[in-house]
Amino acid sequence: MTTNADDGNLSGRTAGLISEFERTRDSDSTEIGQQFAQLQKTMIESKDMLLCNEGAKACNRLKNRYKDVLPYDKCRVVLKSENESDYINASFIEDLHGHRRYIAAQGPIEESITDFFRMISDFHIVSIICTANDVEAGRFKFRRYWPDETEDSLEFGTFKITKDQSSDKAFSNNDYEIRPLIITRDDNQQHVLLYHFLHWPDHDIPNDEAPILDLLLRLYQDRDSSVDSPILVHCSAGCGRTGSIIAIDLCRLYLNDEHLVSSKDYQPYPVFKIASYIRQFRIALIQTLKQYFFVHKMFLYLMKANGSISFHSSENNDENQTFSSSPPPTKSSSSRRPSAPLQITLRNPPIGRRLLNGSNISNTPSPTFSSSEFFPPSAKSSSTNDASLTADLPPPPIPPHCSAMRTADNQQENETNEPARKSNSSRSDSASIDSVVSSTTNQKSELSSEQESNSD
């Protein structure tokens, strides 16, 4: 992959990558295009190591919306066993310190909707990000699980979902809505905030960067500082839009951590490194080249917005974070909760583990990770703190392998025959892995015909 010696800092380098991508008609030949092609090739070459046997079992097949998007056995979410089933199509995603900060999930379908609420209950979920709509362009994307304007409540098995009328955190504008919900099972009540981004087209990107950051800042503002549960993120397949929003949040956390910014591990292509990292946990996170480009745009936007965000980094892996910011302006139509300066303190979710070490792909040139390309010797963190880093300040230690993530006890061979089911009457919304790579390596910035009709 090419480098540009004239770009002496991270902001300039990222702006150069974006400008190159926007100017050319051959987006695959750009630096961003070549990086995405390498991400796709890595996914193919890793599929034999990252097994999906549990999701392929006959007893679990109907719980998968797409036959080619299954959770890796090593990092799948394992439910408390009920009726001999602990399976859901969802994966733990670790942050850059090895903490289980997210769950990336398939959008619920009729066969998995009660498992979806079991997961929320089992892992004490209080924050959900939904980046899709239940129906898009006349196509069913997931089973809507919250009451609409005409409904007081919904029931799924033993779970009852009602609007939390007592909450003061309801919010609505042109770009997203925050829906306070109460999930009741037997005598237990659980309060959940659903952050629903309204305008993120399938296989496409939002029109503006500001609402994404606004949503994320509100989410962390609303989370109690004592909450250790993962953030649940889903779209339809739990890949493209889900992976993009997770990568964007990790870019935000990266830029606000002096140790990570100064670490050579993420230079000179931090977005590429973050995208490579999260793909160890779930297939095809950031599914299209256009989405990968948008993560770069968000990365540059976050750097520009970082002047109004104050970050105080801890000296250990606790990653306690404090933000002080006013959310970027959005085109608000109707707000039930006014915007206010944010004072956010976030504790970590439980520690998970790093699954695989990154590896270079043969026959594909890898980025040259030179510290001098992104940061000159006197580079400072993108934090607003004025104190510069010392040259020998070590990055946070990489967490060791551990057994925090529960895995299936027995792995079986993948079965080849897919039983007929009603949800497969339309084409799979997620392209097969091979067709995804084919579209990247053999075509110029266009999705394959299968991808064009499929969902992320």
Decide: helix, strand or coil at residue 287.
coil
**In angstroms, rounded to a whole number, what is the distance separating the alpha carbons of residues 172 and 155?**
24
**In angstroms, rounded to a whole number, what is the distance separating the alpha carbons of residues 131 and 233?**
8
pLDDT computed for residue 224 by the predictor: 84
pLDDT computed for residue 47 by the predictor: 86
Beta bridge partners of 323: 344
Residue with tokens 């199509």: 89
pTM of structure: 0.72
pLDDT computed for residue 114 by the predictor: 96
| Cβ neighbours of residue 83 closer than 8 Å, sequence gap 6 or more | none
The answer to whether the Cα torsion of 242, 348, 116, 145 is positive or negative is: negative
Residue with tokens 């961003």: 32
**In angstroms, rounded to a whole number, what is the distance separating the alpha carbons of residues 139 and 339?**
34
52, 130, 235, 239: the active-site residue: 235
**In angstroms, rounded to a whole number, what is the distance separating the alpha carbons of residues 199 and 335?**
17
Cis peptide before 396 (omega within 30 of 0): no
**In angstroms, rounded to a whole number, what is the distance separating the alpha carbons of residues 376 and 143?**
50
The pairing of strands 135-136 and 139-140 is antiparallel
Pick the CATH number of 10-452 from 3.40.50.150, 3.10.20.30, 3.50.50.60, 3.90.190.10: 3.90.190.10
pLDDT computed for residue 386 by the predictor: 35
The series of mean pLDDT values per 10 residues for the chain, 456 residues long, is 48 95 95 98 92 96 95 97 89 97 98 97 97 94 95 96 96 96 96 96 86 96 88 97 98 94 92 98 96 97 72 36 38 43 39 36 36 30 34 37 37 41 41 44 38 51
- For 372-408, the pLDDT digits (tens) are 332 233 333 333 333 333 333 343 333 333 333 333 4
pLDDT computed for residue 455 by the predictor: 62
pLDDT computed for residue 51 by the predictor: 95
**Quick check: is 235 catalytic?**
yes
Domain locations in the chain as residue ranges: 10-452
- For 159-196, the pLDDT digits (tens) are 999 999 999 999 999 999 999 999 999 999 999 999 99
**In angstroms, rounded to a whole number, what is the distance separating the alpha carbons of residues 445 and 27?**
5
pLDDT computed for residue 326 by the predictor: 39
CB 327 within 8 A of CB 171: no
